[in-house]
Amino acid sequence: MQIEKVGVVGCGLMGAGIAEICAKSGYETVVREVNDELLTKGLDRIGRSLDKAVCKGKLEENKKEEALGKLTGTTNLEDLADCDLVVEAIIESLEHKCELYAALDGIVKKSGVFASNTSSLTITEMAMATKRTERFLGLHFFNPVPIMKLVEVVRTIMTDDQVFEETKEFIRSLGKEPVSCQDNSGFIVNRLLVPYLLDAIRGLEEGIGTVEDIDKAMQLGCGYPMGPLTLLDFVGLDTTYYIANIMFEEYREKRFAPPPLLKQMVLAGRLGRKSGRGFYDYSNS
Ligand code: CAA
């Protein structure tokens, strides 16, 4: 499996980060969004992140230009036809994902490998929407993608051993560290992280401390880079709500059940940083 060209479907927070690191690592990268407006927004996000990397001394100006030269945006799925690897990072909806994979299966060359960046849906279910079940796996990146070192590489019982090993090599070529996971909802990180985040909300509901004190406690007491409520705002309360529901549905365990306050905040549009308000107010930042 020779990876030269990578397709990324979805140019939101995660898709933009994935496209950025692929282009930065020298892969010809095509990123697809559903319309011009979202594509422009996504490409701007990549541009800003590359500028930030230059400002922080992580990337030379000429390398930024090289990365941009490797990157193409499109709204047309057909432009992914000759990709060796397609990474999907669209909304966490099984229905939308399966529909997309069925379409991609008819477009992308037979040797192309498909990978989903899902954080909690079952990879097997998506693979079954295609005829390339042995060339299908999960690649779960973490936010912010250009900074976080980990990628969970998820195999199903159908994934070909060689495809799995070579995809881990590809991840290393992006400067990331792979961990191997089985196809269990939440894989390793969210299986541990989601109950912790939900418990922080339950703690807030029960009055164990204020938003600021809960965050300060975990940040300074345990050395976490962010407190749990700041991290929830960072990940997005809607995203966390989706993930928790999927995991609760899968495991039927109370620790994955979204607490009422999370649901209320999502309904109220307090989604975290992206909406300007979550547990904290970002309207001036
Ligand atoms: N490109 C490359 N490097 C960059 C960069 C960019 N665009 N922006 C910043 N950097 C570098 C900086 O130079 C810096 O490097 P050094 O440490 O070597 O100096 C480093 O990245 C950190 O940057 P900042 O100083 O700007 O940021 P910070 O110190 O305030 O840290 C943070 C920000 C990385 C987000 C940190 O707070 C953190 O690690 N938070 C936790 C994030 C986390 O847990 N993410 C996982 C979420 S869960 C998930 O994603 C999965 C899911 O399914 C829900």
Identify which of 91, 147, 242 to mutate to test ligand 1's pocket (most ligand atoms within 8 A of the CB).
147
pLDDT confidence tier of residue 96, bands split at 50, 70 and 90? very high
166: enclosing H helix or E strand = helix 161-173
pLDDT digits (tens, 9 = 90+) for 172-222: 999 999 999 999 999 999 999 999 999 999 999 999 999 999 999 999 999
The residue to which tokens 């594509």 are assigned: 39
Helix or strand or coil: residue 255? helix
- What are the sequence ranges of the domains in the chain? 5-182, 191-274
Decide: 225 in ligand 1 pocket, CB within 6 A: yes
Distance CA 54, CA 130 (A): 40
The pLDDT value recorded for residue 1 is 72
The pLDDT value recorded for residue 251 is 96
Report, as an integer, the average pLDDT of 25-54: 98
pLDDT digits (tens, 9 = 90+) for 56-67: 999 999 999 999
The active-site residue out of 20, 33, 92, 152 is 152
Decide: 138 in ligand 1 pocket, CB within 6 A: no
Model confidence at 45: pLDDT above 80: yes
The pLDDT value recorded for residue 36 is 98
Known catalytic residue at 119: yes
Distance 212 CA to ligand 1 centre (A): 21
Helix or strand or coil: residue 147? coil
For 5-182, give the CATH class: alpha beta
Decide: 142 in ligand 1 pocket, CB within 6 A: yes
Radius of gyration of the chain (CA): 19
Model confidence at 226: pLDDT above 90: yes
Distance 146 CA to ligand 1 centre (A): 8
Distance CA 282, CA 202 (A): 23
pLDDT confidence tier of residue 276, bands split at 50, 70 and 90? very high
Asked: is 191-274 a CATH 3.40.309.10 domain? The reply is no
Distance CA 89, CA 141 (A): 10
The answer to whether the 5-182 and 191-274 domains have the same CATH topology is no
Distance 163 CA to ligand 1 centre (A): 30
Helices (H), the chain: 13-24, 36-55, 61-70, 94-107, 123-127, 161-173, 189-206, 211-222, 228-235, 237-251, 260-267
Decide: 102 in ligand 1 pocket, CB within 6 A: no
The model scores a pTM over 0.85: yes
Decide: 83 in ligand 1 pocket, CB within 6 A: no
- Pair type for strands 136-141 and 150-155: antiparallel
Q: What is the mean pLDDT of the chain?
A: 97
